[in-house]
Structure 1
Amino acid sequence: MTFLLAFLPIAVILSLMIGYRWGASRAGAAGYLTALVVAIAFFGAGPRLLAYAHAKALLLTVDVLLIIWAAFLLFRVADEAGAIAVIGDALPHLTADRGMQALLIGWVFASFLQGVGGFGVPVAVIAPILVGLGFSPLAAVVIPSVGHSWAVTFGSLGSSFNALMAATNLPFDVLAPDAARFLGLAGIAVGLMVLHAAEGWGAVRRLFLPTILLGAVMAVGQYLAATAGLWNVGAFLGSLAGLMVAIPLARRYRGQMGDNGHLDTRRVLVALSGYAVLVAITLGVQLIPGIHDTLSKVGVLRVNFPEMATSQGFVTPAGPGRTIRFLRHAGAILGISSLLAFLIYRRAGWYQPGAGRRIVTGTVQRVMSSSVGIAAMVAMAVVMQHAGMTDALARTLADSVGRAYPAIAPWIGALGAFMTGSNTNSNVVFAALQQRTAELLGYTVALILAAQTAGGALGSVIAPTKIVVGASTGGMAGREGEVMRKMLAYTGTLVALMSIIALLGA
């Protein structure tokens, strides 16, 4: 009964989004209200606990929305200038093969963006490009969402992997090898799924060998980087190696090019400059110690919360909430990139009068409704964590499977990412539990934790907040349920694959 009650808010969201095709705003509000009622009535959450939980949720919401608003702002800056159309027109000069376009842009380039930025950037950047190439809005959202999922743990410059180390107090050389192996194998499967989402089984059969080659290159690159201590740039280096191989492969699989006219290289470079600025600023802020350290100390919002307990005895230890370092926040990086990109495009003469006003208005109109859904989802997740509902779900799942625990470990990671919206949070919430359970059952801790973070990485892309982001930038706003249904099939298969690998390795 406890498990069913704890699962009820998730069931409400899933049924409303998938069964009744509700948008994320309404479904999220319903899920939040359900979590609130269950937490108070059955898990002993009192007013003090709920007040602090909502304060934490507010910090998390600000953290998430800064990224979402800034990411969409960058898209509007580029789109208003016509840069998206220029890139879309240029890509057929490299390859007109729809499957290769999906692999190159929706898998390899999406993984590269996850490596250097993450935080919703891959889908926000790539979905509009794919729409411009003629992909359906649904495919344009699903392809990069699935495509970057394998790069989440070692992407965002290692934030999720760092959380795994912090939560378990284990060093990188213990955790990285198994985690990189799990995710490398997932990456190859992801490539095949990207092809399937683009053109069905025919594309999978036709481009099977190039996909395996690209997947192997990226997997090996990430493994070598992560195990050598460069875990913070593991996904970046792996996907960079993939790009170096993918470009000549794309030229080989050119498809029916036809007469595409003259390729204006200068216009393409100007169009790409907005995203080049994003990559350059991200690398500078994250990898140059002087800049990184200075920005980490200035403009920091950090709130410490006391220990909280439910009337049933579930304790949330004292500690800080979400720390927001505004000057090196991904939202700040995206915002600065948007400003610089706007100046570049304006200097190039790509804007019509009133462009600035249209950019701001378009951003507010598109993202406002999504923000309501995100706030509700975050509040639901935090209330469930502090009421002990998340813990009850994980413990019941673990206790019910016994010696088959390795098969369930990826699903716990995926559950945590689905509920909290990120692999980082899933690792923070569940890594210690997974570690202790592995010790009690006699399994290799590193293998179970690899299953945890792999499941969290793959499951993070179906978090309702991520679905909202993808839908809002790919022309699917209000149709998030369709995206969720499509994504569940691919993500479920990937997490099941991680279960099989964990069982075989245990």
Structure 2
Amino acid sequence: MTFTQDFTAVGDSLAWSAIVAIIPILYFFWALAIKKMKGYVAGVTTLLVSLALAVIAFKVPVGTALMSASQGAVYGLMPIGWIIVTSVFLYNITVKTGHFNIIRHSVLSITEDRRIQALLVAFSFGAFLEGAAGFGAPVAISAALLVGLGFNPLYAAGLCLIANTAPVAFGAIGVPITAMEGPTGISAIEISKMVGRQLPFLAVFIPFFLVFIMTGFKKAWEVMPAILVSGISFAVTQFLSSNFLGPELPDVLSALVSLVALAVFMKFWQPKTIYRFPSEQHVATDDVVSKENYSGAAIVKAWSPFIILTVFISLWGIPTIKSALTGHYEGTNFILKGVNAIGQALTFMPEVPLLHNQVINGTTGDPIAAVYKLELLGAAGTAILLATIVSKFIFNMPWREWGKTFLETINEIKYPLITICSVVAYAYVTNAAGMMTTLGLVLAKTGALFPFFSPVLGWIGVFITGSDTSSNVLFAKLQQVTAESVGMDPVLALAANSSGGVTGKMISPQSIAVAAAAVGLAGRESELLRFALKYSLVLLFFICIITFLQSNVLAWMIP
């Protein structure tokens, strides 16, 4: 039984349909921020609300709605949930074997100042992981590292969510940008150039914003030299690489340059006063940094899980290798052909019953394919799992202890996994019903003000789907067509969708669940949402202003 999306399903009115479509979003905010439900309860009930509205208001067949939810739940487990499990597992291995103490010491040896540590770990290292892997790995790993260094779990998670805005558009080797080329026919390099003329402004601001949130203006001003080194080095590299190299490497290069620049700078400059959290003001300096002197080899060994992780996820992100890992390699390289055979055996893409080609796109009239995408070898989480196996041998960890730690990790994050699966399922239900496109069509009615509201589409898309890539695929064509109708450059509209989307990443239910799981805050997702929401709106407004100015006053910035 086919279902054709109807964007005016409620009373034959786009306005009424949009009001109904936004109810699940408002409910989720209410459930977490006001009612303070546990994350998995808010996620499951939001899914139920969206299913009811899809069936009753948007006339989606019950079977179609339920199977779209199942497709989302499977995607929530693989690859998203798999990344979270393996990321937290890798961190737990370093803690269990005692090597995290050495990691902590090595960071503190650069600086004991908590402000600089946040810049090094949350901003630079997190951006590197975003560029290499994307999904939930950057927030999960960097937040866990900050907690290990002594940060309050809520602050650690919140700061990493905010820091993860600047690199998201170029995450996972530029996939969010390249994903827009197919639906629109606009070259990915042109979109990359435009995004690279928006996000560097945000990248310069984010380091200051992080420290300001932590300490206030006065304490942030004390480390302004370090903030400027971190932000400017990142922004300049992001601009140059996005405009001259393409969308694949801006995050990786920017993060490395920023990380090295700040670490070197700290060898020649230190703040006049060392900032620590109020709860640790009584701790003497000699107590904060262990008097034990670790050798360079010991430090490298302690960091080796994350070095290996970086190597693996970087390899997994290379297009040719990625195609082999997922069974789609068509070249002649003997090794890659062997990997491709294994990838094919471990890739399962069965059609979703009652859903595959049963939903007709209300805009194009084409049937929408629906499969359970299970790329077991090609998933980023598998790359992280391999890093845990190599780390087990480096640390001489018994298999029994390794397995026990893995089971403990799963038990630790079982509720966040439920949250993730339910909110991704909710996203798939709203997409199948056409509820997301309905909201997009309302914003497209803003006419001359569309350049200002264009980033809001991306923000909504990422909030719902948890992915800048998904948001870009969902709204790219709508952005392009609407921009052309109101006299806005389509390249700017596509860039705005991606740039606006990055500001929604920090409050996406998936991101909130991932961050909470990584720092042991399962069940306290509402606190994290309240922490991040206001900052998300501030940064979104910042992108809206930039886009509006670039469309009307600073048009020379458009490539």
TM-score grouping bracket, smaller chain normalisation: over 0.9
**Residue 42 (structure 1) shift:** 0.8
Structure 1: 5+ residue stretches without partners: none
Cα distance in 2 between the residues matched to 1:9 and 1:45:
16
Cα deviations by residue, 1:271-302 (Å, 9 ceiling, x for unpaired) = 1000001111122333384x444223123233
Is 2:55 the partner of 1:40? yes
Cα deviations by residue, 1:203-238 (Å, 9 ceiling, x for unpaired) = 322223432332222122122222223421211011
- For normalisation by structure 2, the TM-score amounts to 0.85
Which position in structure 1 is the counterpart of 2:40?
Answer: 25
Residue identity matched to 1:245: A
Is 2:159 the partner of 1:133? no
Cα distance in 2 between the residues matched to 1:313 and 1:179:
27
1:135 is paired with a residue whose SS is coil
Cα distance in 2 between the residues matched to 1:331 and 1:309:
33
Residue from 349, 353, 367 that aligns with 1:302: 349
Which position in structure 2 is the counterpart of 1:263?
Answer: 293
Which position in structure 2 is the counterpart of 1:436?
Answer: 481
Cα deviations by residue, 1:178-211 (Å, 9 ceiling, x for unpaired) = 1112111111222122112332223322223432
Which position in structure 2 is the counterpart of 1:359?
Answer: 405
Is 2:515 the partner of 1:470? yes
Cα distance in 2 between the residues matched to 1:313 and 1:410:
21
1:461 is paired with a residue whose SS is helix
Task: Map 1:10-89 onto structure 2 (within 5 A).
Answer: 10-63=25-78, 64-89=80-105
**Residue 52 (structure 1) shift:** 4.2
Cα deviations by residue, 1:389-435 (Å, 9 ceiling, x for unpaired) = 11111111221x22111111111101100101110110011111111
Change (3 A) 1:128 1:61: closer
**Residue 505 (structure 1) shift:** 0.7
Which position in structure 2 is the counterpart of 1:388?
Answer: 434
Is 2:220 the partner of 1:204? yes
Q: Is the 8 A contact 1:172 1:229 kept in 2?
A: no
Change (3 A) 1:181 1:60: same
The more displaced of 270-279 and 122-131 is 122-131
1:396 is paired with a residue whose SS is helix
Change (3 A) 1:355 1:48: closer
Change (3 A) 1:145 1:313: closer
Task: Map 1:18-417 onto structure 2 (within 5 A).
Answer: 18-63=33-78, 64-251=80-267, 252-253=269-270, 256=274, 258-259=285-286, 260=289, 261-264=291-294, 265-287=296-318, 289=320, 291-297=321-327, 298=343, 299-304=346-351, 305-309=356-360, 317-321=367-371, 323-346=373-396, 355-399=401-445, 401-417=446-462
**Residue 314 (structure 1) shift:** 9.5
Q: Is the 8 A contact 2:51 2:66 kept in 1?
A: no
Q: Is the 8 A contact 1:102 1:198 kept in 2?
A: no
* CA-atom RMSD in angstroms: 2.2
Change (3 A) 1:294 1:338: same
Cα distance in 1 between the residues matched to 2:216 and 2:522:
24
The more displaced of 425-434 and 78-87 is 78-87
- For normalisation by structure 1, the TM-score amounts to 0.93
Structure 2: 5+ residue stretches without partners: 1-15, 275-283, 328-342, 552-559
Residue identity matched to 1:253: Q
The more displaced of 249-258 and 9-18 is 249-258
**Residue 362 (structure 1) shift:** 1.8
Percent of residue pairs bearing the same amino acid type: 26
Q: Is the 8 A contact 2:125 2:259 kept in 1?
A: yes
**Residue 320 (structure 1) shift:** 4.7
The more displaced of 390-399 and 268-277 is 390-399
Residue from 483, 499, 504 that aligns with 2:544: 499
Residue identity matched to 2:348: L
Cα distance in 1 between the residues matched to 2:21 and 2:255:
38
Q: Is the 8 A contact 1:116 1:279 kept in 2?
A: yes
Cα distance in 2 between the residues matched to 1:321 and 1:184:
37
**Residue 308 (structure 1) shift:** 1.1
In terms of fraction of residues, the more helix-rich structure is 1
Cα distance in 2 between the residues matched to 1:253 and 1:266:
26
Change (3 A) 1:26 1:18: same
Change (3 A) 1:409 1:96: same
Q: Is the 8 A contact 1:414 1:458 kept in 2?
A: yes
Q: Is the 8 A contact 1:193 1:490 kept in 2?
A: no
Change (3 A) 1:315 1:173: same
Residue identity matched to 1:300: T
**Residue 436 (structure 1) shift:** 0.7
